[in-house]
Chain A
Amino acid sequence: MKIGAGALLPSGITAIALAACGATSTSGRSASADPLNGSITVFAASSLTSAFNTAEKGLELDHPGFTAQYSYGSSQTLVSQLINGAPADVIATANTSTMQQLVAKGLVDTPQAFCKNKLEIIVAPGNPKGIKTLADLAAQGLLVVLAAPGVPVGDYATKALKAANVTLTPKSLQLDDALVVEQVESGNADAALVFVTDVVAAGNKVTGIPIPDAQNVIGTYEVAVLKASANQGAAQAFVTSAVSGDVQTQLLADGFLKPS
């Protein structure tokens, strides 16, 4: 979409159109029409930490007057907090089932799929244990940690291992993927299953071993505006940006897959 067309549309549509434009779209926008204004709170799955934090810097540069506070954690934790009344404007989950709990409680409108992610095996730098496949994780004496059941990346890992017919006893069930990565980084664990994007975000402190698509689990992320949000305009604009704007661009740059 080109900015010239957007500027001619009624303000509501302009707002969404502008938010959907890239970082280069600096012309033809009046400050009053920019919906990305004021402050919002975004609850987001911990695998989104790096992408959202990077995107936030660009958003704040392009939209003076806009700031977002982020609370990262396991999707289930965040959803439980929202059900218990935690104040937020936007929620982004790493699966559809946790989001569905919010839909069922009537706390959000229709969620939108905005990206996908898949699993990767994560090991110490240089892969000293020579792990190549999911089946290698069941080796005797290998310390593997996973995310807990109910945590999206934990559920995906369980599904992938089951599909590959691999039986293993993890040493610990961590509460989100950041805590899983931390155990491999510290050397306590030999290997773990996390999202591809977690491996990208961890940089050279770990090595990722790809899992073939046939054995992999592709998880869909969803984002929605909370009905209780006091800043619906900015919240909706952020969602739009996540689906097709600057935030989406950053997600793809960080290794996330397109939603469809």
Chain B
Amino acid sequence: MTRGVTRRPLLGLLIPAAVAVLFIALPLIGLLLHVDWSNLPSELVSSDVLTALRLSLECSIIAVAISLVIGVPLAYLLARTSLPGRRLIRGLVTLPLVLPPVVGGIALQTALGRTTPIGTVLDHFGIVLPFSTAGAAIAEAFVGFPFLVITVEAGLRQRDDRFEEVAATLGARPWRRFWRVTMPLAAPSIAAGAALCWARALGEFGATITFAGSFPGTTETLPIAAYTSFEGSGQIGMAITLSLLLLAISILVLVVLRDRWLGALQ
């Protein structure tokens, strides 16, 4: 066996690998070193932070809900049927993953802005998506939902369809098979996709500020609040507090996801 050969670390690889670890760790350490720990508790429960946190949770949960409602059916059709133009649709759905978010925001603006045809109709009913929480949620969904579609589609494709066939031979109608067999079996990948989508939505910045603007309690989510504290009003301390909060949430997502859900991706 080659065990002795492969287990010995190559020293030449060790140095760049150590740099790689430091590359990720140093900025996080820098952030932690600049936290004003004595003021942290009072800042964390200040109304500014709580408002941004509540709004962030609200928007990201709406974004996940939108993604579930439209994303799961799409993932099912992509995985299980020979939908014409499937590859094109899959590419289109993947696009927001690589598209700079600010481009997404500008694109949403040109499609759903107040003076666009759709925006004009909505404005007639008193709905203006830019500057509204709904607009922020739509921007977050735009950026987050590819994670859900891709994860769920991968989950559905990997599984063989014997269970559905058995259900069919036992006389279950298509909708009944979908709800009672396919969906329960897809549950782990839906949960993993929803969690990834949620994490992405929570951290969304570029598309949201471009499309929905920034106002406390309406569209100023945690990342936007961190940015405006840092850039707009020069409150570096508040920006660091908000960053720490987002870092903590991100770590929590990773820890929760690690064993329970990410297995669905492997």
A residues whose Cβ falls under 8 Å from a Cβ of B: 73-74, 76-77, 79-80, 98, 101, 141, 143, 145, 148-151, 170-175, 183, 186-189
- Whether B215 pairs with A187 at a CB distance below 8 angstroms is no
- Whether A171 pairs with B231 at a CB distance below 8 angstroms is no
- Whether A171 pairs with B213 at a CB distance below 8 angstroms is yes
A-B contact count (CB 8 A): 78
- Whether B215 pairs with A171 at a CB distance below 8 angstroms is yes
Interface size class of B (residues with CB under 8 A): 20 to 34
- Whether A175 pairs with B232 at a CB distance below 8 angstroms is yes
Kindly report which residue of chain B lies nearest to residue A101, judged by CB atoms: B234
With a CB–CB cut-off of 8 A, which chain A residues contact B218? 171
- In the complex, identify which listed stretch (B66-74, B76-84, B108-116, B182-190) lies at the interface while the others stay far away: B108-116
Does B47 lie at the interface of the complex (its beta carbon under 8 Å from any beta carbon of A)?
no
With a CB–CB cut-off of 8 A, which chain B residues contact A143? 114, 128, 131
Does B57 lie at the interface of the complex (its beta carbon under 8 Å from any beta carbon of A)?
no
Minimum CB–CB distance for A46 against chain B, Å: 12
Please give 8 more A-B residue pairs, beta carbons under 8 A apart, in addition to A76-B233, A145-B131, A188-B131.
Answer: A74-B232, A143-B128, A171-B128, A172-B212, A173-B215, A174-B214, A186-B114, A186-B115
With a CB–CB cut-off of 8 A, which chain B residues contact A187? 113-115
Does B219 lie at the interface of the complex (its beta carbon under 8 Å from any beta carbon of A)?
yes
With a CB–CB cut-off of 8 A, which chain B residues contact A171? 128, 131, 213, 215, 218
- Interface pairs (20), CB distance under 8 Å: A73-B231, A76-B232, A77-B232, A80-B236, A98-B234, A148-B228, A148-B232, A170-B215, A171-B131, A172-B131, A172-B214, A173-B214, A173-B220, A173-B228, A173-B232, A174-B213, A175-B214, A175-B232, A183-B213, A186-B114
With a CB–CB cut-off of 8 A, which chain A residues contact B109? 186, 188
Minimum CB–CB distance for A84 against chain B, Å: 9
With a CB–CB cut-off of 8 A, which chain B residues contact A174? 213-214
- Whether A80 pairs with B231 at a CB distance below 8 angstroms is yes
Which among A141, A145, A149, A172 is the interface contact of B232 at CB below 8 angstroms?
A: A149
Minimum CB–CB distance for B28 against chain A, Å: 18
- Known contacts A172-B219, A174-B213, A183-B213: A148-B233 contact under CB 8 Å: yes
Minimum CB–CB distance for B266 against chain A, Å: 42
- Whether A77 pairs with B213 at a CB distance below 8 angstroms is no
- Whether A172 pairs with B234 at a CB distance below 8 angstroms is no
Minimum CB–CB distance for A78 against chain B, Å: 10
- Whether A150 pairs with B131 at a CB distance below 8 angstroms is no
Q: Which 7 A-B pairs rank lowest in CB-CB distance, beginning with the nearest?
A: A172-B213, A150-B233, A187-B115, A171-B131, A148-B232, A77-B231, A188-B130
